[in-house]
Amino acid sequence: MTQRCQTSPAPSILSAWQQDARSRTLRLVSDLTDAQLMGPQLPTVNPLLWEIGHVAWFQEKWVLRRGGRASLRADADSLYDSAAIPHDVRWDLYLPRRVETLSYMQRVQDQVLACIHRGLNESDAYFVQLAIFHEDMHAEAFAITRQTLSYPAPNTEKTHAVSGSEGALPGDARIQGGTFFLGAKPDQGFVFDNEKWSHPVEIAPYAIARAPVTQAEFAAFVEDNGYLHRKLWSNEGWTWRTEHRVEHPVYWRWSRGGWERRAFDRWASLEPDWPMIHVNWHEANAWCRWAGRRLPTEAEWELAASSVEKRRYPWGDDEPDARCANLDARRLECVDVSAFSAGDSRFGCRQMIGNVWEWTADDFLPYPGFVADPYQEYSEPWFGTHEVLRGGSWATPGRLLRNTWRNFYRPHRGDMWAGFRTCALGV
């Protein structure tokens, strides 16, 4: 039997998380028109009207219906089951209108909160958390969709407090390496199946950047015609670049003698000391070859973040807050790579959680002894076709993350809030 979480948060915490996750979902779509809720059919986004209904369906399926209970909607499975409904079909479904969808979402939430109030065993608590974290992941996807479709920034309150000085943060942290236990331990609480379980890996000494690559550093690559130099690209990367005629990052344009970047529906001058964002795995690797660097492996990244004693977060075991990391869409944007010094890892690496996701060198593969958890579609179908990202972005809910958390995307995807940090060669 697959191991699940060993301890669960108190019911009051689960209730607060559930209400917060749903409130976030609704804020991210409440200002959009009915036409915007459907949007154009693109391969990297879902129709938001479908997606918010899917979030409620997933919660109902795993929390309310596990004993064979019928859905609150007789047609729910035929509308919202992402494993059964191909992506391109989702625009053609006869979806309930906004009011009806919101009513379904509210009914599901009311019943889930009632279940939490009555009391949960460990299995019940596992599935409540699974549904909350699933909604948290979709919340970040909603923000990505708004960026992709040039919608306005989400209608949420921005908090501009930043911890630490601003500017660049050059230099490497030198790490001795040795035997490191990669992955989550069984006593960590809720973790996903692809994090299981901690196992020894040998890591040679290495030097990893204290901060992610900045937009100014990436602009130097662009201006050196890095996109046009075949020797900098893998075969797959060059095929992607030439097929799409890419000569600069997505959402960049040259205007009035300088680079501008589109953030949602507005263009602004490039922020030189922000981390590079919206860059795919091929682009990250091409930059590394140009700069004489490389991407870290998953094990190198996790060691730099957690150190040998396996901290839960780079700064220790305390939950993320506004001092340590740029998370929870508090600012609705990135900050300079030198900000949030309170979140440094033991080795002095900054922003290893928050601000921007970070590509690693590794394919997304199972750890030794992998066994799929009950939500079998989460990891297993994607092994071998995706690459691993670590850390989290400004749009990621903090409760979702830890140093062992593995994100994964196809290598050509650059629409996410994704950047990268690098390692020195030959250390």
- Please count the residues of the chain: 427
CA 101/CA 99 separation, integer angstroms: 5
What is the gyration radius of the CA atoms in the chain, in angstroms? 21
CATH of the domain at 347: 3.90.1580.10
**Which amino acid, residue 2?**
T
Q: pLDDT at residue 6 above 90?
A: no
Does 193 lie in the same domain as 134? no
- In the numeric block, the tokens 């909350």 are attached to 132
What pLDDT score was predicted for residue 427?
76
How far apart are alpha carbons 395 and 104 in whole angstroms?
26
User: Which residue type does 106 have?
Assistant: Q
* Cα–Cα dist 54/49, whole Å: 9
Final residue belonging to a domain, choices 92, 114, 148: 148
Q: What is the pLDDT of residues 349-378, one digit of tens each?
A: 999 999 999 999 999 999 999 999 999 999
Residues 350 and 292 in one domain: yes
pLDDT over 90 for what percent of the chain? Answer: 93
Q: What's the pLDDT score for residue 164?
A: 44
What residue has token string 């940090």? 421
- At residue 165, the pLDDT reads 54
pTM metric for this prediction: 0.95
Q: What is the pLDDT of residue 426?
A: 86
Residue 315 lies in a domain: yes
List the CATH number of the domain containing 82.
1.20.120.450
**β-strand 418-419 against 357-363: which pairing, if any?**
parallel
For the segment 233-278, what is each residue's pLDDT rounded down to a tens digit?
999 999 999 999 999 999 999 998 899 999 999 999 999 999 999 9
**How confident is the model at residue 161, as a pLDDT?**
55
Please tell me whether residues 68 and 192 are part of one structural domain.
no
Is residue 272 in a domain? Answer: no
Task: Extract the tokens encoding 146.
Answer: 């708004």
Comparing CA positions, the residue from 304, 319, 356 lying closest to residue 335 is 356
> What was the pLDDT predicted at 1?
33
Answer yes or no: do 123 and 177 share one domain. no
Same domain, 328 and 179: yes
Helix (H) or strand (E) holding 179: strand 178-182
The structure tokens 């700069």 sit at 291
Is the pLDDT assigned to residue 195 strictly greater than 50? Answer: yes
For the chain, helix, strand, coil in percent to 5 are 35, 15, 50
Same domain, 294 and 365: yes
Phi-psi region of 369 (alpha: psi -120 to 50; beta: other; left: phi over 0): left
303 assigned to some structural domain = yes
pLDDT digits (tens, 9 = 90+) for 111-151: 999 999 999 999 999 999 999 999 999 999 999 999 999 99
SS3 49: helix
pLDDT band at 188 (very low <50, low <70, confident <90, very high): confident
Structural domain count of the chain: 2
On whether residue 44 sits in a domain, the answer given is: yes
Report pLDDT for 98: 97
Residue 139 shares a structural domain with residue 176:
no
Of 132, 148, 164, the position where a domain reaches its end is 148
306 and 397 co-located in one domain = yes
**Which residue's structure tokens are 């091929």?**
282
Query: Looking at the domain assignment, is residue 271 inside a domain?
Result: no
* Mean pLDDT in residue range 16-44: 97
DSSP 296: P
**pLDDT one-digit tens code per residue, 275-285:** 999 999 999 99
The reply to whether 179 and 52 lie within a common domain is no
pLDDT at position 261, please? 97
Same domain as 378, residue 302: yes
Statement: residue 96 has pLDDT above 60: yes
Residues 162-182, mean pLDDT to the nearest whole number = 87
* Reported confidence tier of residue 231, pLDDT bands at 50, 70, 90: very high
pLDDT attached to residue 160: 54
* Whether pLDDT at 2 is above 50: no
In the predicted structure, residue 391 carries a pLDDT above the cut 50 = yes
Residue 148 CB contacts under 8 Å (≥ 6 apart), including other chains = 42, 44, 45, 415
- Residue 75: predicted pLDDT: 97
Geometric angle at alpha carbon 176, from 171 and 177, rounded to 5°: 115
- Residues of the chain with pLDDT > 70, as a percent, come to 96
Residue 131 CA, chain-centre distance (Å), reads: 16
Q: Is 421 helix (H, G, I), strand (E, B) or coil?
A: coil
Which amino acid, residue 25?
T
- Distance, in Å, from the CA atom of 267 to the CA atom of 256, rounded to the nearest integer, reads 12
Domain that holds residue 136: 11-148
Output the pLDDT for position 8: 86
Is 269 inside a domain boundary?
no
Residue 315 sits in the same domain as residue 371? yes
